[in-house]
Amino acid sequence: MTIKGVYANDIGPESDAARASARAITAQGARAKALMDCHIRKLYYGSFLAVRDAEIPIAPNAITAFIGPSGCGKSTVLRSLNRMNDFVPGFRLEGSVHFQGQDIYANHVDPVAVRRSIGMVFQQPNPFAMSIYKNVAFGLRLNRYKGDYAERVEAALRGAALWDEVKDKLHSSGLSLSGGQQQRLCIARAIAVEPDLLLMDEPCSALDPIATRRIEELMLELKERYTIAIVTHNLQQAQRVADHTAFLFVDTSAGGRTGYLIEYRPTAALFEDPREERTKAYIRGEFS
């Protein structure tokens, strides 16, 4: 693949060093205030190097978007932020992911405890085959919550902008809802346990434009109380909702496909004045 005379395979030491320097300068200020500081040197599945050189700070009470072409490791990086990749055989990470000052990959850290503080919403809505009420209360029961379940369920459904639509049918199956409602139900389930960070892996890709718009509006409301990181293929969506954006690309120089970070900046700056030629080409739609 050729981009404005630059070959995707042509990644020399000087360009690598220049990019690393620019990334370090850009991220330095953000890292000091970050709720999470992701520093992935290398991420493997078995012998396959899936991601390298990805340093992405996640700012509190803001939305950070991961964009880039297919196969660049966006979802892999996102799933590393709450150790979901631990379930993949052969997964190995070299680097660190500091959350509130603690490396979540330290030997003494319980990944289950990590996931209590860092929730996740997946690409396809995945409500459980149980009532709307039990869906939202599921995490509360799992964590042996001692408070008022009805109060917390209502608060979560209100937080997900779903309460008015389901308050009279809480004991109906979550599977009876529309696709957009199901995704908001999954968001309610995630925020019911009051996580500090909410991860969203292409949460609108399976939804129609109206439902997508509602989820985007919801994300902007939720960031007042939560920190959000989102993977999206929709560049317009990143521009609409994200405060910061990380652009990842694919290195094919070794014969495989390894994702790595090209550029991380405030969203407006990245889209209006990208520093890297590959960022410019991606935003122009020259590849996807």
**2-284 under CATH 3.40.50.300, yes or no:** yes
Per-residue pLDDT tens over the stretch 35-77: 999 999 999 999 999 999 999 999 999 999 999 999 999 999 9
3-class SS of residue 44: strand
Spatial contact of 122 and 84, defined as CB atoms under 8 Å apart: no
Domain ranges of the chain: 2-284
Is pLDDT at 115 greater than 60 in this prediction? yes
State the distance between the two ends of the chain, measured CA to CA, in whole angstroms: 11
Per-residue pLDDT tens over the stretch 58-69: 999 999 999 999
Residue 28 confidence (pLDDT): 57
- Count CB neighbours of 241 within 10 A: 23
Residue entry with tokens 């981009």: 3
Residue 69 confidence (pLDDT): 95
Q: What is the pTM of this model?
A: 0.87
Q: Give the separation between CA 204 and CA 121, rounded to whole angstroms.
A: 10
Torsion-angle region of 12 (φ positive above 0: left; ψ -120 to 50: alpha; else: beta): beta
Sign of CA dihedral 244, 231, 257, 70: negative
Average pLDDT of every residue of the chain: 90
Is pLDDT at 81 greater than 90 in this prediction? yes
